Amino acid sequence: MKTLGLTGSIGMGKSTTSALFAEAGVPVYDADAAVHAIYAKGGPAAAPLEAEFPGCTKDGAVDRQQLSAQVLGNSERLRRLEAIVHPLLAQQRSTFFEAALQSGAPWVVLDVPLLFETGGHRGVDAVAVVSAPPKVQRTRVLARPDMTEDKLEAILTRQWPDAKKRALADFVIDTSVSVDDARRQVRGILTTLADPTWKSTRPLDLGDEAPHS
C-alpha cells in the first residue's frame, strides 16, 4: 500500500478535493479532522489537556484558542502538549492504516494542510497539490465568516507559497473551473497511480531556486 500526500494552501479547495478522492473509493486520512476528533467533547485529549493546562477546555471540549494562548511561545509547554497529543494522533493513524490495509486499497490519501511545512512530503510516495489562481483563493477565503485581510495575510505567512508547493508536486489539481473538472483531474491521477510502472520524479527540495510566489 502506498501513500499520496494531498495538500494545498488555504482557500485552494483541498477539502472538496479530498472528498473527491473518498468518492472515488480511496481511503482518506484527514489530519485536521483527526485533531478535531481528539479535542472534541469526550475525545481522548480533552481530559488530559485540561489536567495539564487548566482552563483550556469549554463544555468538555478543548478550546483551541485558549490552548494556543497557554502554549504559544513556551517551548516547555509545547513539549508537554505534544507529549499528550502526538501519541493519540499516532494511534489514530495506525488504526486508519490497518483498516486501509485490510481493505486491500493500493493507495491511501493523507490529507495534510502543512505537508511541506512539516517535512511530511519526504515520507509519502507521491504528492498532489491543490491550487487555484490568487484572485480565486482570496475571494474564497474572504467570503468566510470572521475572515479579514489581516487574518488571511497572517495565515499565508505560515504557509509555503503556492508556486513552491506546485514545483515540488507530482500532480497539481486546479480547482478554479468546477467540481466536475476537479473530479476529472482526480480520476486522472488515480489512473496514473494504478500504472505499476509509474514512479515519482519530484524533487524533495528546491534549494536556492525555490520560487517565492
Q: Minimum mean pLDDT among 90-104, 159-173, 195-209: which range?
A: 195-209
Fold of 34-104: Rossmann fold (3.40.50)
Rounded average pLDDT over 83-107: 93
How far apart are alpha carbons 163 and 147 in whole angstroms?
Answer: 23
State the span(s) of the chain assigned CATH 3.40.50.300: 1-27+105-205, 34-104
Question: For the chain, what is the mean pLDDT?
Answer: 92
What percent of the chain has a predicted confidence (pLDDT) above 70? 97
Q: What is the CB neighbour count within 10 angstroms for residue 8?
A: 28
Q: Is 86 exposed, middle or buried (0-12, 13-18, 19+ CB in 10 A)?
A: exposed
> How do strand 2-7 and strand 107-111 relate by DSSP bridges?
parallel
| 7 strand-pairing partners | 129
CATH topology of domain 1-27+105-205: Rossmann fold (3.40.50)
Per-residue model confidence (pLDDT) at position 207: 64
Alpha-carbon gap, residue 85 to 45, rounded angstroms: 7
- Residue 202 DSSP label: -
Residue 212's pLDDT band, with cuts at 50, 70 and 90, is very low
Mean pLDDT value across residues 97-119: 94
Indicate if the pLDDT at residue 209 is higher than 70. no
At 172, list the grid cell.
497539481
Q: Which of 17, 14, 11 shows the shortest CA–CA distance to 190?
A: 17
